Amino acid sequence: MKKLALMVAGVLAAGAAGAAPNWSKVPVANVPVFYPGQAGLEWVLVKKDHSASNQILDKKRACTKCHDTDATEIGDKIVAGKPVGNMRQPLDSAAPKGKAGSIPVSVQAAHDGNKIYLRFEWDTPKSGGDKKMDPKNDMKLTVMFEDNKVEYADRGGCWATCHEDMRGMPDASDASKTHPKAKVMGWSDGVTKYLKESRTGLEMSGKARGGWDKLKSDAEIEAALKEGKFMDLIQFNSGKGEAVDGYVLDARHMGGGKSLVKVDGKKSGNHWTVVFERKLAAGGKGDHTIAPGKLYNIGFAIHDDNADGRYHQVSLGYTLGLDNAKADFNAVKQ
């Protein structure tokens, strides 16, 4: 009898350890995601385009320090085709009709010593119209984070992956589709996200800005991957409830990772709740270990209203930590 009682107690303890967090006890961070238009990393870092570029380059000041309070205003102006700040030209002249300028999102994080849980909640804005860029997915939520080894990620989060020569951007090139590595890089529709760490350089002010065609050697890219110079990527696609575990370095790779356990996404009326459940330990290619005592740079994007490509809402760069009051998203242990 005593042995049976011990066995039952062990099962209950194991179940409790694997149970979902009690979210009512987890701090909430309120974050605005906003429509960025065609503003890639090169635009952000060039003074004639972005007057505060020196704050990022010289002072290494995070974008949230200036824009966390006016991101909604910026998004509203961009979708309306109006210039932002001291700009003379709008950042986007082709925003989808009725596109929301921003979406307020509540973010929570928790961990149990083995896994981390990231919870996102928001209300879907009123539909922009009948056109569906991605008819298979009402919504996609993508989260990217890194271990302080990707330049500019500490200031702009996943903006470090966005460039002026990607597909849908001002300096996109059709030449990428016939590049010898086009198939393996996933460039059938054009260049996808990439990091400066995978290129020999970035053109900042020429006629074609970016560095899609300045790939480092395979050996150098593999070395960067081993050194942790990549953005870990996890994604939820609403169409089939699919979870993606990949990474960004030389391109956006929608696979290779093994740390993502599952994603639970639910929509009630116009309200979305998405919870990522991920192992703290790195399990595969493009996975970062999330360890105590460290801060990780993180950003996320929402493709609402069947949006695709660049027509998403994005966050600025934030920090993630375990039981760390300094983190913007503090994953508390339960």
Q: Would the pLDDT of 304 be above 60?
A: yes
Q: What is the pLDDT of residue 128?
A: 67
Count of Cβ atoms closer than 10 Å to residue 217 Cβ: 9
d(CA 234, CA 245): 5
The pLDDT tens digits of the residues spanning 11-66 come to 333 334 457 899 999 999 999 999 999 999 999 998 888 888 888 888 888 899 88
Is residue 4 over pLDDT 70? no
Q: What is the pLDDT of residues 137-181, one digit of tens each?
A: 999 999 999 999 999 999 999 999 999 999 999 999 999 999 999
Q: How far apart are the first and last CA of the chain?
A: 31
On the question of pLDDT at 263 being above 70, the answer is yes
Q: How confident is the model at residue 9 (pLDDT cuts 50, 70, 90)?
A: very low
Smallest CA-to-CA distance from 273 within 104, 158, 106 is with: 106
pLDDT above 60 (res 10)? no
What are the residues facing 265 on neighbouring strands? 274
* Distance separating alpha carbons of residues 251 and 259, to the nearest angstrom: 20
Task: Pick 26-333's CATH classification: 3.40.50.10540, 2.60.40.1190, 3.30.56.10, 2.60.40.3080.
Answer: 2.60.40.1190
- Cβ distance 78 to 94 under 8 Å? no
At position 72, the amino acid (one-letter code) is T
Write down how long the chain is: 334
**How much is the average pLDDT of 247-259?**
98
Q: What is the mean pLDDT of residues 251-268?
A: 97
Q: Please report which helix (H) or strand (E) contains residue 244, including its range.
A: strand 242-248
Question: Does residue 202 or residue 205 have the better pLDDT?
Answer: 202
pLDDT > 60? residue 2 = no
175: number of Cβ within 10 Å: 14
The three-state secondary structure class of 232 is strand
Residues 6 or more apart whose CB falls under 8 angstroms from that of 103 comprise 32, 33, 34, 122, 123, 124, 125, 302, 304, 313
By C-alpha distance, which of 172, 107, 173, 106 is closest to 310?
172
Residue found by looking up tokens 């960025």 in the block: 36
